[in-house]
């Protein structure tokens, strides 16, 4: 598995830094965020290490893994698949939470007590799920246009059915809205930041930010859900608001 890393000047001097994992969306690679988001200048100023994993396993051939852009290669959905033939290799949740996390901690100048996670679209879904399930490991979280309630949207239903099988009880472990509902309180007292473009063609059918808002309100989880006129689902949207996200994490992580 490939991943990208940005080290700020502070890290290059050997000082341990706060670190952000960024999870990219459908069709993306470990290079997409580094090339398109424009995060490095402010990350340098704030002393943030940026880590960008790939979006699925590569270099294996599974029948059907390239039949569509929203499933299989570059569409791992950050789950640990349980159904054949995906279960052997499509274990992106464990890869992020255990393998890559440990690799970063052991080999880079990062402070393991100051790690956050964020992402876009499918990666926003992954970031929310991973943070909600591992709040002691990932201390801050935000998302751009996340798939907030994948159990009820076409992307999520398709992916979960094939990766996890028909048991929707297993799906709940990978649905941010459901995780917040059953969490029963404020997992992140400092708040979750979510930005969403109102011109996003996937907003109504796939993303469901209002379901996330409602779940947070019910359990008392602070959420800043910001709806932006004129923005779509692309990286111009991310580049326009990346500063707010980096500053959100820097504040929460004390960087």
Q: Cite the active site residues.
A: 121, 200, 233
Q: Could you give the C-alpha distances from 192 to 36, 62, 86, 240, in angstroms and in order?
A: 23, 36, 31, 18
Is the bond preceding residue 107 a cis peptide, omega within 30 degrees? no
135 contact partners, CB below 8 Å, separation of at least 6: 187, 188
State both tokens at 176.
């941010």
DSSP state letters, 88-146: TT-BHHHIIIIIIHHHHHHHSSEEEEEEEEEEETHHHHHHHHHHHH-TTT--EEEEES-
């Amino acid at each position: 598995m490939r991943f990208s890393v940005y080290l700020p000047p502070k890290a290059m001097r050997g000082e341990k830094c706060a670190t952000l994992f960024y999870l990219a969306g459908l069709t993306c690679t470990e290079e997409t965020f580094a090339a398109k988001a424009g995060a490095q200048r402010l990350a340098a100023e704030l002393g943030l290490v940026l880590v960008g994993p790939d979006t699925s396993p590569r270099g294996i051939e599974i029948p059907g893994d390239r039949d569509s852009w929203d499933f299989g290669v570059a569409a791992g959905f950050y789950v640990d698949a349980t159904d054949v033939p995906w279960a052997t290799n499509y274990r992106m949740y464990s890869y992020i939470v255990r393998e890559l996390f440990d690799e970063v901690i052991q080999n880079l100048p990062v402070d393991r007590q100051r790690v956050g996670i964020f992402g876009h679209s499918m990666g926003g879904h992954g970031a929310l799920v991973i943070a909600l399930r591992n709040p002691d490991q990932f201390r801050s979280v935000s998302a751009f246009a996340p798939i907030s309630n994948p159990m009820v949207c076409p992307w999520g239903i398709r992916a979960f059915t094939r990766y996890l099988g028909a048991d929707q009880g297993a799906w709940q472990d990978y649905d941010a809205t459901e995780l917040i509902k059953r969490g029963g309180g404020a997992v992140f007292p400092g708040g979750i930041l979510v930005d969403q473009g109102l011109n996003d063609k996937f907003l109504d059918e796939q993303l469901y930010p209002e379901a996330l808002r409602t779940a947070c309100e019910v359990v008392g989880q602070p959420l800043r859900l910001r709806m932006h006129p004129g923005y779509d689902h692309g990286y111009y949207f991310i580049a326009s608001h990346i500063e707010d996200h980096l500053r959100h994490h820097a504040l929460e992580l004390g960087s």
